[in-house]
Amino acid sequence: MDKLTGRQIAAARTLMGITQADLADRANISVPTLKRMEGSQGHAGGMANNLAAIRAALEAAGVEFIPENGGGAGVRLRKR
In order of start, what are the domains of the chain with their CATH numbers?
6-77 (1.10.260.40)
Phi, psi of 77 (to 5 degrees): -90, 140
Give the helix/strand (H/E) hosting 7: helix 6-16
pLDDT in tens, the chain (80 residues): 578 999 999 999 999 999 999 999 999 999 999 999 999 888 898 899 999 999 999 999 999 999 887 778 899 998 87
Q: Identify the pLDDT of residue 27.
A: 97
Its pTM stands at 0.90
Q: Identify the pLDDT of residue 1.
A: 57
The DSSP string of 15-79 is HHT--HHHHHHHHT--HHHHHHHHT-SSBPPS-HHHHHHHHHHHHHTTEEEEPPSSS--EEEEPP
